[in-house]
Amino acid sequence: MSFSMTPVITVDGPGGSGKGTITQMLARELGWHLLDSGALYRLTALAATRQGVALDNEAGLVAVAASLDVAFEPTEPGEPVKVILAGEDVTVEIRTEATGDNASRVAVIQPVRDALLQRQRDFQQPPGLVADGRDMGTVVFPDAPVKIFLTASAEERASRRYNQLKDAGVDVNIDTLLEEIRVRDERDMNRSAAPLKPADDAQVIDSTGLSIKEVLDRCMAVAGQA
């Protein structure tokens, strides 16, 4: 089957919009493959560290990024996507502070970004792909037949994050969270490379005040066009 014949549903949007949960639910409902694009820089950093590739070795990092042996599996609602690297579950390990710091060093290297762009496109395999990210519909899969841009008010996203952290036993201030979200939104929407914005042909779904079931129903209705 050719690249263009395998359908893709892209789900873009800001952090806290619920796109991770919805992407997993869509992939499970449809029986399609899943891509969590936001995890790829962390995975590249982790794989490089495990393979003894220095984080300033550009050629080595490009090779690691281009050949990442990774799979994403949907989990239960509210749980992070399961991440399998070279056959091992690294869901927890890629979320550590150290891996995050290393990922930020890797992400600024343009040849690595180029290699990961192609690696993301390699996930487009039958019967279909649901891709979660910030530039899936605008940059990675511009020809996707169905594009969803999932958003929610900054206040709603701060409230969701506050409840998540509270449930995890983390002491947090909701006003601080709200300010962090607004700053991040401003930065993401105004960056020069792949700014956060809906694709021209994306269906924008505002999840503010909606249940997960209501959001899923709306996305499934859109997905019926794939």
Per-residue confidence band for 1, with pLDDT thresholds at 50, 70 and 90:
very low
Q: Is residue 195 part of a domain?
A: yes
Q: Is residue 226 part of a domain?
A: no
Domain extent at residue 120 = 33-126
Q: Is residue 1 part of a domain?
A: no
CB of 24 within 8 A of CB of 81?
yes
Pair 38, 116 in one domain? yes
Pair 115, 186 in one domain? no
Q: Is residue 45 part of a domain?
A: yes
Pair 101, 90 in one domain? yes
Distance CA 64, CA 85 (A): 12
Distance CA 115, CA 148 (A): 25
pLDDT > 70 in the chain, percent: 97
CB of 78 within 8 A of CB of 71?
no
pTM of the model: 0.87
Domain end call among 108, 126, 144: 126
pLDDT in tens, 82-139: 999 999 999 999 988 888 889 888 888 999 999 999 999 999 999 999 999 989 999 9
Domain end call among 76, 105, 126: 126
Pair 115, 132 in one domain? no
Q: Fill in the amino acid letter for 82.
A: K
Task: Indicate the helix (H) or strand (E) that contains 130.
Answer: strand 129-133
Which of 184, 201, 73, 62 is CA-nearest to residue 141? 201
Domain at 141, CATH number? 3.40.50.300
Please state, in angstroms and as integers, the Cα–Cα distance from residue 81 to each residue in 84, 92, 94, 201, following that order. Answer: 10, 10, 11, 27
Please state, in angstroms and as integers, the Cα–Cα distance from residue 129 to each residue in 94, 117, 211, following that order. Answer: 22, 15, 24
pLDDT in tens, 4-58: 589 999 999 988 888 989 999 999 999 999 999 989 999 999 999 999 999 999 9
Structural domain total, the chain: 2
Domain end call among 111, 126, 141: 126
Pair 88, 166 in one domain? no
Pair 141, 161 in one domain? yes
